[in-house]
Amino acid sequence: MTRKYFGTDGIRGLVGTEPITPNFVMQLGWAVGKVFAKQSPGDAKILIGKDTRISGYMFESALEAGLSAAGVDVRLLGPMPTPAIAYLTRTFQAQAGIVISASHNPYHDNGIKFFCGTGAKLPDEVELEIESYLDKPMTTMPSHDLGKVKRIEGARGRYIEFCKSTVPYNLSLKGLKVVLDCAHGATYHIAPDVFDELGAEVISLGVEPNGFNINEERGSTSPEALQRAVLEHGADLGIAFDGDGDRVVMVDHAGQLVDGDELLYVIVREGLDGKKFRGGVVGTLMSNLGLEVALAELGVEFTRAKVGDRHVMESLKKFGWRLGGESSGHIICLDKTTTGDGIIAALQVVTAMRRQDFSLRDMLRGMEKYPQSLVNVKMSKRCDPLGNLTVQKAVADAEGELGSHGRVLLRLSGTEPVVRVMVEGVDDTQVEKLAHDVAEVVREALG
């Protein structure tokens, strides 16, 4: 069966446009409630958390009403990072956790995503079962069977302590000056306390959410303000999260951006030095070739999954590995938690820096990123350009010119009507030219 509503990570869109409307979200809450009430008759409990965008209040109420009508108890967490909701779902032994967030998107978007009781994303069969209820008429349980709603107090403190527990108990960040950019998002009241309680001198950006400024010129997708702040304050490093806290990128003391591929390399090196790393690493089709080469030199296996942390997780489970991630900063450390977590990934990198007494830039010795050029080609209608013989020839010609030290990737975006043309190689000028040449062929083929 194909999904009608669920994408690779829940349901997302523009607020007020189907399916991101109060009526649909209430129906979704009811559908989720019916599925989990059936799995745990008379004992179902579901947690709801959200990021800081203004529409979160509206959708929280809609979900609450739908779940209660289905006879499921609800526990409200308020603004919390997505990975915190995964953790709290486990620790409160809830049947599921719901996150109201559109991640790194602007405030006028929102979405709903889910975790099962183990803190992992919902299995495909559960999502399909939920969808089967979405087109059915909504019913309400008798009053004595309605779900009860409570707000969980102390959830923030629980998660802060959990984050700190993922690093050695004797780790001290005393003497380390860190700039944190929380994107005016869900980590605004979490990340600064985590690093402060571990002893770091913390300078905070993006910690004044007003419902409209989430991800606005702040966070992992807009790191320029963080780069400036690191230089201005003479900080040792900067750390930027996205709006819901499952992505992280960093900035070194010289103001240079350090992306998810490079952070994966640092975590692997630290694991090998401490004789704790086992297995390989899962990246994506967009992971820099430099990461693959650097890991090979360390004797570490590397495989690529399709773009999206859901696909990374599937590959990790397939191979029995514990570490994977994306260039964008989704990093999954399965030896620490059950899902991608920006704060926990950042703590693993900072732990490595402190243990080896190296700067972040020093930790990257041994990995050289290959030049990479990405061109987006807009489509008037969704189609696969790889089926076009002219496009196939252009790709083959570019690959022949790059030889064994480069690659060409064409990928349909999962969120926009564009074809992403990516070329990677050793020569910056060549890479840039080939990317635009292939993109032009794709553009002509699409009419």
- 417-438 pLDDT per residue, tens: 789 999 999 999 999 999 999 9
Same domain as 207, residue 140: no
Of 209, 230, 257, which closes a domain?
A: 257
**Which tokens belong to 375?**
């061109």
- Residues 6 or more apart whose CB falls under 8 angstroms from that of 99 comprise 10, 49, 50, 51, 82, 85, 112, 113, 114, 115, 244
Q: What is the mean pLDDT of the segment spanning 164-171?
A: 96
Residue 398 falls inside a structural domain: yes
pLDDT of 279: 96
Question: Do residues 178 and 203 make contact, with C-beta atoms less than 8 angstroms apart?
Answer: yes
Q: Is residue 70 predicted with pLDDT exceeding 60?
A: yes
**pLDDT tens track for 327-341:** 999 999 999 999 999
**pLDDT tens track for 282-314:** 999 999 999 999 999 999 999 999 988 889 999
Residue 305 falls inside a structural domain: yes
Same domain as 251, residue 125: no
Same domain as 310, residue 209: no
Of 257, 283, 299, which closes a domain?
A: 257
* CATH code where residue 280 lies: 3.40.120.10
- Residues 6 or more apart whose CB falls under 8 angstroms from that of 295 comprise 265, 268, 280, 281, 301, 302
Same domain as 378, residue 424: yes
- Residues 6 or more apart whose CB falls under 8 angstroms from that of 141 comprise 69, 70, 71, 147
Residue 165 falls inside a structural domain: no
Question: Do residues 263 and 255 make contact, with C-beta atoms less than 8 angstroms apart?
Answer: no
Residue 161 falls inside a structural domain: no
**pLDDT tens track for 208-236:** 999 999 999 999 999 999 999 999 999 99
pLDDT of 382: 64
Question: What predicted TM-score, i.e. pTM, was given to this entire model?
Answer: 0.94
Same domain as 143, residue 250: no
- Residues 6 or more apart whose CB falls under 8 angstroms from that of 187 comprise 81, 241, 245, 342, 343
Share of the chain above pLDDT 90, in %: 89
Cα–Cα distance, 46 to 65 (Å, whole number):
12
Amino acid making up residue 312: V
pLDDT of 415: 65
CA distances from 364 to 190, 299, 410 (A): 27, 17, 29
HEC string of 78-95?
EECCHHHHHHHHHHCCCC
Domain count, the chain: 4
Paired with 13 in beta bridges are 110
Cα–Cα distance, 215 to 204 (Å, whole number):
15
Same domain as 249, residue 276: no
* CATH code where residue 384 lies: 3.30.310.50
Cα–Cα distance, 271 to 348 (Å, whole number):
10
Q: What is the mean pLDDT of the segment spanning 262-291?
A: 95
Ramachandran quadrant class, 72 (left: phi over 0; alpha: psi -120 to 50; beta: rest): beta
Same domain as 253, residue 271: no
Strand bridging mode 281-284 / 302-305: parallel
Number of residues that make up the chain? 447
Residue 2 falls inside a structural domain: no
**pLDDT tens track for 361-401:** 999 999 999 999 999 998 876 677 778 899 999 999 999 99
Same domain as 236, residue 270: no
Same domain as 35, residue 143: yes
Of 320, 347, 369, which closes a domain?
A: 369
Parent domain of 382: 372-445
Which has more confidence, 173 or 310? 173
Residue 273 falls inside a structural domain: yes
- Tell me whether residue 68 is one of the annotated catalytic residues: no
Catalytic pick from 55, 101, 103, 315?
A: 103
Same domain as 250, residue 358: no
Amino acid making up residue 211: G
